[in-house]
Chains A and B, each alone.
Chain A
Amino acid sequence: MKVYFRKNLLLWVTLAVLTLLFIFAARGMATRDWVITLLRGLSVGSVTFLVASGFSLIFGLLDVLNLAHGTLFMIGAYIGWTVFIRPDTFVDLIPLLALLSSGFLLSELWAELGKRLPSGRWTRLLPWMSLLLAVGLLVLVLPGYPVTGWNLKVFSQTPGTFAFMADQGLLVLPVAKAFEHPPALVLCGMLLASLLAAFGFSAFKRNTIQAAGWVNWRQIAAFVIVLGVGFTVFFANDALTKFLTGINTSWLFLIAVLTATLSGVALGALMESTLIRPLYSRPIYQLMLTLGLSAIGIEVIRAIWGRPEFTMPKPALFGGTGEGCPATSLGAWLQHQCSTFLLMGGRVRVYNEIFIPLVGIVVLVVVWILLKRSRLGMIIRAGVQNREMVEALGINVRKAFTQVFALGVGLAALGGVLAAPSMGLSNTMGESLMINALIALAIGGLTSYPGAALGSVLVGLIQQVIIKYGAIGIPIPFTEIVFKPTPPLVPASTVLLMVIILLILPNGLLGRKE
Chain B
Amino acid sequence: MTENNTAYRKPQGFLRRNQGLWITLAVLILLPFVIGLFEGASPLQVWTNDSGISKFTQGLAIEIFILALYALSYDLIFGITGLLSFGHSMFFATGAYLTGILLKNFDLPVGITVLLVLAASAVNALLFGIVLPRVKGITFALVTLGLASVFHIVVMSGELKDYTGADVGLQGVVTPAFISPANERLRFYFIALTILILFYLLYKRFVSSPTGRVCIATRENEGRARMLGYNTFYFKLAALLLSSATAALAGTLHALYQPIVSPNVASLGFTVSALLIILIGGVGTLKGALIGAAVYRLLDFGLRRYVGESASFISGAIYIAIVLFVPYGIVGTWALKSPQIKQGWTRLVGMVKK
Which A residues form the contact surface with B (CB < 8 A)?
65, 275, 278-279, 282, 284-285, 287-289, 291-296, 298-300, 302-303, 435, 438-439, 442, 446, 486, 488-489, 491-492, 495-496, 498-499, 502-503, 506-508
Contacts and interface: CB of A to CB of B under 8 A. Distances in A.
Interface string B106-118: 0000000000000
Interface in B129-178: 131, 134-136, 138-139, 142-143, 145-147, 149-150, 153, 156-159
Contact of B320 (A289, A488, A506): A289
Nearest to B273: A291
Nearest to A296: B316
22 contacts: A65-B138, A275-B324, A279-B323, A287-B275, A288-B322, A288-B323, A292-B320, A295-B312, A295-B315, A299-B310, A439-B146, A442-B139, A446-B139, A486-B159, A488-B158, A492-B149, A499-B143, A502-B135, A502-B146, A503-B135, A506-B135, A506-B136
Contacts of B283: 284
A495 B154 CA distance: 12
A488 B156 contact: yes
A300 B136 CA distance: 36
Given A282-B327, A499-B146, A507 B313 contact: no
A506 B310 contact: no
Most buried by A among B143, B147, B268, B327: B143
A291 B276 contact: yes
A287 B146 CA distance: 18
A235 B312 CA distance: 39
Nearest to A491: B153
Contact of B317 (A287, A292, A486, A499): A292
A300 B313 contact: yes
Contacts of B138: 65, 446
Given A289-B323, A295-B312, A502 B142 contact: yes
Contacts of A303: 310, 313
A488 B157 CA distance: 7
A438 B279 CA distance: 22
Contacts of B324: 275, 278
Contacts of B150: 492, 495-496, 499
Nearest to A278: B324
Interface in B313-334: 313, 315-320, 322-324, 327-328
A435 B142 CA distance: 10
A84 to B, nearest CB: 26
Contacts of A293: 316, 320
Tell me which of A287, A293, A294, A299 has the highest count of chain B C-beta atoms within 10 A of its own C-beta.
A299
B142 A438 contact: yes
B323 A492 contact: no
A491 B156 CA distance: 12
B348 to A, nearest CB: 20
Nearest to A500: B146
B272 interface: yes
A65 B86 CA distance: 13
Contacts of B322: 288
A51 to B, nearest CB: 16
A295 B316 CA distance: 5
B154 to A, nearest CB: 8
A275 B319 CA distance: 12
Contact of B275 (A288, A299, A438, A506): A288
Contacts, number: 110
A503 B143 contact: yes
A459 to B, nearest CB: 13
Contacts of B275: 287-288
A503 B147 CA distance: 12
A325 B276 CA distance: 54
Contact of A502 (B139, B157, B159, B310): B139
Given A287-B275, A496-B146, A498-B146, 13 more contacts: A65-B138, A278-B324, A285-B327, A289-B319, A292-B316, A293-B316, A303-B310, A446-B139, A488-B156, A488-B157, A499-B146, A502-B142, A507-B139
A164 to B, nearest CB: 25
B279 A299 contact: no
A488 B317 contact: no
Nearest to A503: B134
Q: Which 7 A-B pairs have the closest CB atoms?
A: A295-B316, A292-B319, A299-B313, A296-B316, A499-B146, A292-B316, A292-B320
Contacts of B327: 282, 285
B313 A296 contact: yes
A376 B259 CA distance: 57
Contacts of A287: 275, 279
A278 B320 CA distance: 12
A442 B275 CA distance: 21
A298 to B, nearest CB: 7
Contacts of B159: 486
Contacts of B134: 502-503, 506
A271 to B, nearest CB: 11
A488 to B, nearest CB: 5
A499 B276 contact: no
A176 to B, nearest CB: 29
A300 B317 CA distance: 12
A486 B157 contact: yes
A27 B103 CA distance: 47
Contact of A298 (B135, B142, B279, B312): B312
A507 B136 CA distance: 9
Contacts of B318: 292
Contacts of A506: 134-136, 139
Contacts of A279: 323
Interface string B84-101: 100000000000000000
Nearest to B272: A291
B75 to A, nearest CB: 12
Contact of B143 (A65, A275, A302, A502): A502
